[in-house]
Chains A and B, each alone.
Chain A
C-alpha cells in the first residue's frame, strides 16, 4: 500500500483533488466544458514548465524564467504596436529569448558560474530591459486581431492554446525520452563528470537546455499576450514558482526522481485544477497560495522518501 502511494502518490493526489471538487460543485466543476477550460488555463504555465523540465534535467536552475515570459510578450506586443507584422514580431521575440537562453547557458556551462545566482542576475537584467522597452506600462494598442487567434480562438471545440500545449508537450517528450539528445541531457544532469568522460558534450547540452528554456518561456509570454490582448512588463511574475513547482511535482512520477514531460503535465494539472476549483468555490486568493505551498512540500517529501 505504502509502495503504491510512494510510486503514484502525486497521481492519486490529482484524482483526489478532482474528486473533491466534483463532490463540492458537480454541476460547474465536473463538466467536459470545464475540463477543456482547465487545459486552456494551464497551457501557458505548462509551456514554461516544459522549459523548467529541460533545466531540471541537466540539474540546473533558470530563475530568469519569469522575466523571460514578460520579455517575450512585451517585445512581441511592442513590435506589433510599432507596426511590425505579427508573425515577424513573434519570430523576433523568440529569437531574442533564444539568444538570452544561449547566453545563460554559456555563463553556466563554459564559465562554470552557479546557475541559481547567475540566472537571478540575468533575469533581473532582462526585467530591466523589458521595463525600459515598454516604458513600464501595459502595451495594448496596435495589436492586430490575427495575433489574438492563437490565444483566444478554438479549433473543433478545443482552444488553440491547448492544442499548442499538447503539441509542444508531445514533441518535448519525444526529444527527452526517445532521442540520443535526451539521453545526453539526463546523463549530464545525473553525473556531469561521468557524462564528459563518456564523450558527451556536456557544455553544448547545457546551452541547448537553457536555450530551450529561453524560447519556451518567451513563447509562453507571447501566448499570454495573445490571450490577454496586451502585454505588461511584469506579466510573467507568477510563472517562475508555478513552473518549477509543476516540474518538481513531476519528478515524483514516471521517471524515478527526474524531471519528465508527462510528470510535469500532471504537476501543471494539479496546480491548474486547484486554481480552477478554488475559484469556482469562491475561496479567497491567498488560500490558493497556502494550498499550493503545502502540495509542493508534500511532493518534495514524497520525492526524498522515494530516493531513500
Chain B
C-alpha cells in the first residue's frame, strides 16, 4: 500500500462522565480508498465521527490532514480542510426544497440574491449529473422518498467539493434495492478520487465496498486489516470480543390450530389481495423491500388502518379492529418498526413504559394503579429477558438500543398476547442483543403463541429460521416458502421466478 495518507488520527481520547468513549484511537486513511469503521453500539464510532466533525472536542490526541495538524473546533471548520459528512440522521427542513436544504448554512454569499439561486441550482445540477440522480429540485424534501433524501445529503456534502467523505450508517433506513443504488453512488464517489470513511453495522456492505477496515470495541481500536485479508467471522469476533457463531435456531414444530387468518386483504395502493395464516407456535417471517406493503399489513392487523378491504379471522372468529385498542384487547401485540417514535415514551421511566398496555390489568378501586404489584411482575419479566438496567425508575433513553427493544417487548410479554407481530425487531440493535432477541422470539413460539416477524434483513430471517417465509413484492404476496435459502427469497422478491 503505497497510497499517500490523507488523514491521520493519532491517540484520540474522549471521556464522558463515567465512560471512556475513546481510548487512544489511531489509524490512517489512504487516498482514494474506502475505510470501513465497524463496532457494536457504544463502541465509539459516533463519538469519533463527531470529533472529526468538530461537534465534540477530544481530551487528547491529534488529527493530521495531508500531513499537517488540524484542529476541529467548530462544525464549520471541517469543510475548510476538505471534510464532508453524511450523518446518520437526515437533518433537514421538511418544507424547504432540495436546493435550500442542500445549501442550508452554505449559501454562496451573505445575502441570498436571485443570481445566487441560479448559481446554487447549477452546482446542484452538476452534482446530480455526475451521480445520475433524478431529483425534483423544487419539491420540498418531505415529499421525497428516503432514498431521495439521501441523495440530497450527498449533494449537500459535495457542494464544498470534499476530499474526504464520512458516511455514518448511510443505509440504516434504506431497503435492499435502495442500498444497491447507494453502492453505485459510493463507488462513483471513490472513482472521483474522494477518500471515504464508511460506518456501518452491515457486514455485507463493508465487504462489498471497503478496501480497509478498522474495528472499535469499547473505545479501543482492536483491529485493522485490508479487507481481502479478513472475513465476516473475524470482524464479528473482534467486535464482540468472543467468537459467536451465527448458528441457526432449531425450528419448532407448530401447532395444528390456526390463530390468525387473512383473506384478500387490501389497502390501496400499498397492499393488494394478501392472504395468509399463522398457526399457534409458528414463526412466520415476512420479507420485502421498503414499500412492498409489509409494514402496511401489520398496520391493518393492529387496527391502525381502518380503510382496508378483505377479511380477517382471529382465534376462529371474525376480526374487525377499529383501533389499536381493539387489537390489543383481542390479544395482538405489535413491536413497531420505529422504536423511538412508536414504541417508547423516551422521557419516561422503564416502569412507566412497561405499564402502558397493562394499565387496566392493574386497576384498583377508584382507578388506582397497583404500582407495587406491577413492579413485581415487571421485575420478573425484565430478569427473564436479561435486560441490563440500574433502576426500574430510570428513563428508558438511558438504555442501549438492544435493551430499549427488550423494554418494548417486555411490555407486551406482561400483557400475554396470543399473536406477536415484530416489525424490524433488530434495527439499531447490536450483535449480542440481537441473538438474545431471537431467543425470546423462539421462546414465545415454544409457548404456543403465533409470531410474525417482518424483516428486510435476510440474515435475520435465516438465523431465526422461521417456519415459513412470506415474500412481498409491490403489495402482493409473491410466494410463501417452507424451505428456503437467500437465493429463493431474493428471486421471489425481485420477481425473477414464475
Q: Do A and B come from one complex?
A: yes
> Which of A's residues lie within 8 Å of B, judged by CB?
174-175, 178-184, 186-187, 190-191, 193-201, 256-258
Q: Closest chain A residue to B395 by CB distance?
A: A256
Chain B residues whose CB sits within 8 angstroms of the CB of A184 once the complex forms: 356, 359
* Interface range, B side: 20 to 34
A201 and B325 in contact, given A190-B348, A195-B356 (Cβ under 8 angstroms): yes
Tell me whether A183 and B324 are in contact in the complex, defined as CB-CB below 8 angstroms, given that A190-B345, A195-B345 are known contacts.
no
Q: B281 an interface residue at 8 Å Cβ cutoff?
A: no
In the complex with contacts A194-B341, A197-B343, A257-B347, A181-B356 CB distance below 8 A: no
Give the contacting residue for B346; candidates A191, A196, A258; CB below 8 A: A191
**Residues of chain B within 8 A of A196, CB atoms compared:** 324
* Assembled-state Cα–Cα distance A182/B325 (Å): 18
Of the residues A174, A180, A199, contact of B363 by C-beta under 8 Å: A180
B342 touches A197 (CB 8 A): yes
**Stretch of B43-51, B96-104, B365-373, B437-445 that contacts chain A:** B365-373
CB-based nearest B residue for A175: B367
Chain A residue, CB-CB nearest to B328: A199
| A214–B352 alpha-carbon span in the complex (Å) | 28
A193 vs chain B, min Cβ distance (A): 5
Q: Nearest-CB distance from A200 to chain B (Å)?
A: 6
A180 touching B360 by the CB < 8 A rule?
Answer: yes
Closest Cβ of chain A: how far from B406's Cβ, in Å?
A: 16
Which chain A residue has the least Cβ–Cβ distance from B339?
A: A194
Given contacts A194-B342, A197-B336, A200-B356, contact A180 B362 (CB under 8 A): yes
| Contact of B345 (CB < 8 Å), options: A180, A191, A257 | A191
Picked from A179, A197, A198, A258, the residue with its CB within 8 Å of the CB of B369 is A179
- Chain B residue contacts of A195, Cβ below 8 A: 345, 356
Residues of B within 8 A of A (CB): 302, 304, 323-325, 327-329, 334, 336, 341-348, 352, 355-357, 359-360, 362-363, 366-369, 371, 395, 411
- Smallest distance from the beta carbon of B56 to chain A beta carbons, Å? 15
Most buried by B among A182, A196, A198, A199: A198
> Is A187's CB under 8 angstroms from B356's CB?
yes
Pairwise interchain contact B369-A178, C-beta atoms closer than 8 A: yes
B367 and A180 contact, CB distance less than 8 A? yes
User: What 3 pairs across the A-B complex have the smallest Cβ distances?
Assistant: A198-B356, A190-B345, A180-B359
Q: In the complex where A180-B363, A187-B345, A193-B341 touch, is A199 in contact with B352 (Cβ < 8 A)?
A: no
A194 pairs with B369, CB closer than 8 A: no
Cα A186 to Cα B351 in complex, Å, equals 13
Q: List 24 A-B contacts (CB under 8 A).
A: A174-B366, A180-B359, A180-B369, A182-B369, A183-B356, A183-B369, A184-B356, A186-B348, A187-B345, A187-B356, A191-B344, A191-B345, A191-B346, A193-B342, A194-B341, A194-B344, A197-B304, A197-B334, A197-B336, A198-B324, A198-B328, A200-B356, A201-B323, A257-B347
A183 and B368 in contact, given A195-B345, A199-B325, A199-B328 (Cβ under 8 angstroms):
no
Please state if B359 and A190 are interface contacts (CB–CB under 8 Å): no
- Neighbouring A residues of B347 by C-beta, 8 Å: 190-191, 256-258
Are B328 and A187 in contact (CB-based, < 8 A)? Answer: no
Report chain B residues within 8 Å CB of A197: 302, 304, 324, 334, 336, 342-343
Residue of B nearest to A200 (CB): B356
Given contacts A180-B369, A193-B341, A197-B336, whether A187 and B352 have CB atoms under 8 Å apart is yes
Inter-subunit contact A191/B363 (CB<8 Å): no
Q: Give Cα A175 to B329, complex, Å.
A: 24
CA distance A258 to B346 in the complex (A): 13
Docked complex Cα distance between A119 and B364 (Å): 35
Q: Find the residue from B334, B336, B352, B369 having the highest chain A CB count within 10 A.
A: B369
Provide the bound-state CA to CA distance between A258 and B352, in Å: 14
